[in-house]
Amino acid sequence: MKKFKLEDIEKKHGLKAPPERYFDELPGIIQAQTAHKATSKRNFAWSGALRYALPAVVVLLVVVFIIRGLNQQDLDPESMIADVAIEEVMAYLEETDISTEELIASVDWDEASLDFEKDLEGAGILDEIELQEEDMLELFQEYNITEEYL
Amino acid sequence: MEDQELIAKLRVEESRNFAFNQLVRKYQERIYWHIRKMVIDHDDSDDLVQDVFIKVWNNLSKFREDSKLYTWIYRIATNECLNFLNKKKKRFFIPLMDIEAEMVSKLDRNAHIDGDEIHLRLQKALMKLPHKQRLVFNMKYFDEMKYEDISEITGTSIGGLKASYHHAVKKIEEILSQD
């Protein structure tokens, strides 16, 4: 068996050459890709920011709206009182130390929806109060309402 | 353009594209054949050589001038080759059919051989070597690179490279003597 020696053969890899003009075109192909990747990288940075930042902003806005909604409810005494039954309000007023004078003083009469003009004409809230004459006299005595106030 | 000049121009934004174009033109054939001798197939080599230069472009800022520019590029090409061959190996589940056999069959189909029969036999013998040993053999035998440069590329000591190369030569000569 003849001993083969590498140095005895021509130093050739023997692989077929690439297609014609391959090395002429390769630099352009590569640079087109590097330019494209530079653009995609910038877009990717923005899309990445949107992908993560946008949901976070939406969640934050929802939380803010919820908190504002709750706060508005908390700061709306009229709506809170409107939800309370009248019987409970009456019971509270009877038990509390607030005097009648204090209650009357707390009302903003300018805002109060009392139609006195109607009352003068004979119609109005007084007519809606179903009080007998005897009851009215009793009230007048109790609150010391003399003729000069009538 | 000399490597020093290329590096200087690559560092400046205005001249980077031009310098990179020059870099590709300077090294494309060497890198292509470095890869082609490992993977045999032209289309695979084409994909890999493009990947290599794109990686070079993306990592220009990381290039430290403690190594030569061309050994740095060769190192990237070597890693791409080894990753490609290792990935291909994992795709073969049947033990009898492995990547070396696939590449030998490619050689046999004559699609990639343009030389004497002895060179076909040489390529087949090279397929029997481990990938890294074949790499070292190619760089030393075909490219006639210095051991110092091969050491920079592979990260292997010069002594280890010399041992690996001489062992590869002995093995190939044995295989070719038996045929």
Q: How far is the C-alpha of B11 from the C-alpha of A121, rounded, in Å?
A: 97
| pLDDT of A150 strictly over 80 | no
Confidence of residue A73 (pLDDT cuts 50, 70, 90): low
H or E stretch at B115: none
Looking up tokens 């002594």, which residue turns up?
B159
Taking the Cβ of residue A29 and every Cβ of chain B, the question of whether any pair is shorter than 8 Å is answered with yes
Taking the Cβ of residue A18 and every Cβ of chain B, the question of whether any pair is shorter than 8 Å is answered with yes
pLDDT at B17: 92
DSSP B51-114: HHHHHHHHTGGG--TTS-HHHHHHHHHHHHHHHHHHHHHHH--STTS-HHHHHHHHHHTTSSB-
CB-neighbour burial class of residue A26 (10 A; exposed 0-12, middle 13-18, buried 19+): buried
Taking the Cβ of residue B1 and every Cβ of chain A, the question of whether any pair is shorter than 8 Å is answered with no
Model confidence over B151-171: pLDDT tens digits? 999 999 999 999 999 999 999
CB contact under 8 Å between A14 and B17, yes or no, is no
Model confidence over A76-114: pLDDT tens digits? 666 666 666 677 777 766 666 666 667 666 666 555 554
**Dihedral class, residue A46 (left if φ above 0, else alpha if ψ from -120 to 50, else beta):** alpha
pLDDT at A91: 72
pLDDT at A42: 57
Is the Cβ–Cβ distance between B85 and B36 less than 8 Å? no
Quote ipTM for the complex.
0.86
| pLDDT of A118 strictly over 50 | no
* CB-facing half-sphere around the CA of A121: CA atoms within 13 A: 6
Q: Best of A24, A34, A36, A40 to disrupt the B interface by mutation (most B CBs within 10 Å)?
A: A34
Higher-pLDDT residue of A96 and A60 is A60
Using an 8 Å CB-CB cutoff, list chain B residues near A31: 17, 20-21, 24
Using an 8 Å CB-CB cutoff, list chain A residues near B123: 13-15
CB-neighbour burial class of residue B67 (10 A; exposed 0-12, middle 13-18, buried 19+): middle
Confidence of residue B51 (pLDDT cuts 50, 70, 90): very high
Q: How far is the C-alpha of A29 from the C-alpha of A18, rounded, in Å?
A: 15
* Cα of A53 to nearest chain B Cα, Å: 27
Model confidence over B143-153: pLDDT tens digits? 999 999 999 99
Model confidence over A15-35: pLDDT tens digits? 888 999 999 999 999 999 988
Least CB–CB distance from B42: residue in A3, A18, A26: A18
CB contact under 8 Å between B119 and A29, yes or no, is no
Nearest CA in chain B to A35: B17
Is the Cβ–Cβ distance between B9 and B18 less than 8 Å? yes
CB contact under 8 Å between B176 and A4, yes or no, is yes
Q: Which two tokens stand for residue A130?
A: 């179903």
Q: Which two tokens stand for residue A127?
A: 């007519």
Model confidence over B55-104: pLDDT tens digits? 999 998 888 877 889 999 999 999 999 999 888 776 655 554 566 777 77
pLDDT at B97: 52
Secondary structure of chain A as H, E, C letters = CCCCCHHHCCCCCCECCCCCCHHHHHHHHHHHHHHHHHHHHHHHHHHHHHHHHHHHHHHHHHHHHHHHHHHHHHCCHHHHHHCCCHHHHHHHHHHCCCCHHHHHHHCCCCCCCCCHHHHHCCCCHHHHCCCCHHHHHHHHHHCCCCHHHC
Taking the Cβ of residue B123 and every Cβ of chain A, the question of whether any pair is shorter than 8 Å is answered with yes
Confidence of residue A122 (pLDDT cuts 50, 70, 90): very low
